[in-house]
Structure 1
């Protein structure tokens, strides 16, 4: 795709997000033909979004567990951006009107204490594990902002940050106190009823594999991760779609509890 087409596609995506209008398939000449083109558009989307979404503060990784790969129909990880305006503390009341169709996922989030820059690639799980400062129990907020996501195709979903709409974070747990992230047991509750459960090992065998994938993916594009950035490593459970009045609670053993409500 040429630069003009990339910008035009990004403008359509950002316009739909700002107006909370379900996104229809892009015009044929603006549709990314592969995921590499999708990431080019995503990069432009991030520049355009920063004006109203706040500073770019990190990444979410999607399709890192079998349950999510089966649900979305994409057998490999995909990345999207996280902005300051979408990051909330546990107990947040989220406005349903701010989303097209809001959903939540149960995640292990990490905040980096060290840079992971392209010159240091390729990254192993030992390398990325050493870069983590804190861990959090997290609710990823996702938004089904599409006329029909099942027909959009992975490249366009990537261009639009792969459903990303923010997160709710529990208290920070120092990396050394968090234990083996693969052994973390996670449970999602909606209005007190169990809605899903999984383990850290469901995320590519270990959440650090997801973090290493992201660092290597970014390095392949000449980008990197910076100290202070947040990474949502992928859902332990299938997405749970919510309606106003719902309350959600995620329990992640060793990382604590995180809660939010939809108003």
Structure 2
């Protein structure tokens, strides 16, 4: 386990990397003894630094919940990160490509909570009972740590690679649709690049939400009413470049799009 001074130095380094958009060398290369617990300590301190700078918590993201994403990253367990209100973009947004470190796009569902969910014994039924709406979302992945050779420890420290999210389409109540069978077609510049079904996320997209409630319970934390929970991608990440337009068709749940300039 890393000492407090080292954790503080890493968190401050990542805040600065986010400001300058310059990724830092891989943490596990410099601190091979670093653990998953250390990485969540870094993330928590990074969150405190951001909140002290005026950023406001909007929700959480869950990552690496599907086999598609685990195969793409070589990482076999879910992780989580923080969503601040300045990370939530409207459907049709024009996104500044240079604001990110070569962004990638993922296709997801987001859960808007109207009740708290507290672990450590939360279930899928608790999630469905606490969800006001489920809505399509695109996650924009970013990286404050160099990509090559990353492990779960690097990714968690990097706020689970959260950059931003675009929310759109048709919000639905969780009991009005079979969430396992929500599907999406992802286009880049009018070409189909990825397709996926939401059951790819732990067999039910709500499963990641109760996993998260149970995970953070160990730190005395709960998911709160009003939070937006990004439940995990059911496609592989799609690289995007300046000038690209991304469009996702969720069928009855509508469409969502953004353009990178």
With the shorter chain as reference, the TM-score category is over 0.9
Q: Deviations over 1:42-67 (max 9, x none)?
A: 00011112355721111111111111
Secondary structure at the aligned position of 1:226 is classed as coil
Q: Is the 8 A contact 2:92 2:259 kept in 1?
A: yes
Distance 1:29 1:65 in 2: 29
Shift of 1:153: 2.1
Distance 2:176 2:136 in 1: 10
Distance 1:202 1:66 in 2: 7
Match of 1:67 in 2: 68
Q: Deviations over 1:13-59 (max 9, x none)?
A: 11111110022123877566211111111000111123557211111
Match of 1:193 in 2: 191
Distance 2:250 2:144 in 1: 28
Secondary structure at the aligned position of 2:69 is classed as helix
Relative distance call for 1:128 and 1:27 in structure 2 (3 A) is closer
Match of 1:242 in 2: 240
Distance 1:182 1:75 in 2: 21
Relative distance call for 1:15 and 1:133 in structure 2 (3 A) is same
Distance 1:83 1:17 in 2: 14
Distance 1:197 1:224 in 2: 33
Secondary structure at the aligned position of 1:235 is classed as coil
Q: 1:220 aligns with which of 218, 221, 238?
A: 218
Relative distance call for 1:251 and 1:28 in structure 2 (3 A) is closer
Q: Is the 8 A contact 1:103 1:144 kept in 2?
A: no
Match of 1:260 in 2: 258
Match of 2:139 in 1: 140
Secondary structure at the aligned position of 2:22 is classed as coil
Shift of 1:209: 1.0
Match of 2:157 in 1: 159
Match of 2:23 in 1: 22
Q: Deviations over 1:162-206 (max 9, x none)?
A: 210010000451414651111101111101110101101100111
Relative distance call for 1:26 and 1:176 in structure 2 (3 A) is closer
**Alignment map for 1:176-187 (pairs within 5 Å):** 176=174, 178-187=176-185
The TM-score with structure 2 as length reference comes to 0.94
Q: Is the 8 A contact 1:250 1:258 kept in 2?
A: yes
Q: Deviations over 1:129-160 (max 9, x none)?
A: 1111111111101114433x232321121011
Distance 1:202 1:29 in 2: 34
Establish whether residue 229 from structure 1 lines up as the match of residue 224 from structure 2: no
Distance 1:44 1:135 in 2: 30
Distance 1:37 1:252 in 2: 38
Match of 1:37 in 2: 38
Distance 1:26 1:15 in 2: 15
